[in-house]
Structure 1
């Protein structure tokens, strides 16, 4: 990607209030279902603010990283490190796959043709919609697996989650939390905190890989935009947390899944810049 493609369109530079508002809406939606909302932010970066696919992924990854760092102290207060320490092997098991997956996913993303990346992002959004519905409407059971099988399954799941998180620029909590519950018989509150411990180093690895590509210049070109949208996202997430449970999951989950599906259709039809 050229520096020109990485740069934010001039019309967006005059839309910082819109960036804050969009971030707040995304953060509130994510907060109401206990997620960061990065999967909803990605299509906005492309369709509303005019970023090319890879630039949008990198910007989304930067914002997701900041949001996770902001959320981590609050999660540590809710679930102390001493309690998480009893489950350190779970984090290690998943990280063994997710760190490799993050590097691989970012490497594939920077090498993809732009048109292909749009279609891949569309397909992943469909998968996220399915995961969202499954996690919030189905009763999450647990799998009783022998130790070695569980370890292999954890590495494989971590790898897949790392790839998806890197390509979409998300933290991956929407995939990590149900995986931790299913594979390791952990309650969902602890799983949420463990997911942050796994997603943070996973995101840093993807970020490091993206930093080796010329498209990383998009961050330097859009620092004010990113700061404003992150501020909106954090504010919205706090509001969404306060509204948690106010709107029934039976109504909210299908609505958010529909948003992801509509976004997926739009991305699949999206014409790359200059096409």
Structure 2
């Protein structure tokens, strides 16, 4: 009887894996295109897909999203580095290193913090953070190309401030599985007076070690032990994201980035409420 049940489950599991493979790639490409158009990775939009459409639990979705983010950031750095001047980025290096210093600290402990939270607490935190990021996208859509820095140019101000901002960025990254560009870019623009293009490149430099630390920490806690998920979700989603980012980069200038950011900020808030409200409702029904 046991063998018959196992045999009956095999086609169902196989069809689920095939479905996840197809949807992972199909969703990743347009999200990557949008990310490429506005200079972001799109991880915020992948998280609702992972936790909603693909049916992963939030605890699985976050590290999987982080893994895809790592692939996307590495590819984006190569693409962006070959097309943009790094002269302005070099001037920001002290700030970039201070942001990295703070971010890797909280990224290191973020996985442990997430593990101590209940599913309901983690879902609520993720919902709040996604809404905040959605609002940040809308605000960023109205930013001018460059504004005066809020902080004085002295490194005695900028380095401690960078570390403090980095602590918040690393925590957001590890709890959501995102690169954090939506937080890093406004920080660089508002606090340090970077122009939007320079901030976009600098955010990738900050995100790479931050996400890498998060991936290593989640991996050490067994988050990537499911090899099937690596093949049918993370790999196709990573490939789709890179393809989409390349296409998006080629289309820059056709659609106003500011309009896209405002639109995507609204969409992110709506999708976050729909997915994570549904998750919470499902959990409550299960408990009752």
Relative to the length of structure 2, the TM-score reads: 0.85
What CA deviation, in whole Å up to 9, does each residue of 1:184-227 have, x standing for no partner?
22222222222111111111111121122133324x23122221
Name the residue aligned to 1:195. Answer: 203
Name the residue aligned to 1:94. Answer: 99
Q: Which runs of 5+ in 2 are unaligned?
A: 1-12
* CA RMSD of superposed structures (Å): 2.1
Match of 2:70 among 65, 77, 83: 65
| Equivalent residues of 1:143, 1:183 under 8 A apart | yes
Note the 1:9-24 alignment, pairs <5 A.
11-15=15-19, 16-24=21-29
Name the residue aligned to 1:130. Answer: 135
Secondary structure of 1:253 counterpart = helix
What number of residue pairs does the alignment pair up? 266
Note the 1:223-262 alignment, pairs <5 A.
223-225=230-232, 226-249=234-257, 251-262=259-270
Change (3 A) 1:250 1:78: closer
Q: Tell me how far apart the structure 2 counterparts of residues 115 and 11 of structure 1 sit (CA, whole Å).
A: 29
Secondary structure of 1:35 counterpart = coil
Q: Which runs of 5+ in 1 are unaligned?
A: 1-8
Q: Tell me how far apart the structure 2 counterparts of residues 251 and 191 of structure 1 sit (CA, whole Å).
A: 19
Q: Which has the larger radius of gyration?
A: 2
Moved more, 258-267 or 77-86: 77-86
What CA deviation, in whole Å up to 9, does each residue of 1:14-46 have, x standing for no partner?
222222111112111212212111100000001
Relative to the length of structure 1, the TM-score reads: 0.88
| Equivalent residues of 2:140, 2:261 under 8 A apart | no
Secondary structure of 1:247 counterpart = coil
Match of 1:170 among 175, 178, 183: 178
Name the residue aligned to 2:3. Answer: none
Q: Tell me how far apart the structure 2 counterparts of residues 81 and 133 of structure 1 sit (CA, whole Å).
A: 27
Change (3 A) 1:246 1:197: same
| Equivalent residues of 2:141, 2:262 under 8 A apart | no
| Equivalent residues of 2:174, 2:211 under 8 A apart | yes
Give the deviation of 1:113 after TM superposition: 1.1
Q: Tell me how far apart the structure 2 counterparts of residues 268 and 122 of structure 1 sit (CA, whole Å).
A: 8
Note the 1:80-229 alignment, pairs <5 A.
80=85, 84-139=89-144, 141=147, 142-145=149-152, 146-218=154-226, 220-225=227-232, 226-229=234-237
| Equivalent residues of 2:32, 2:245 under 8 A apart | yes
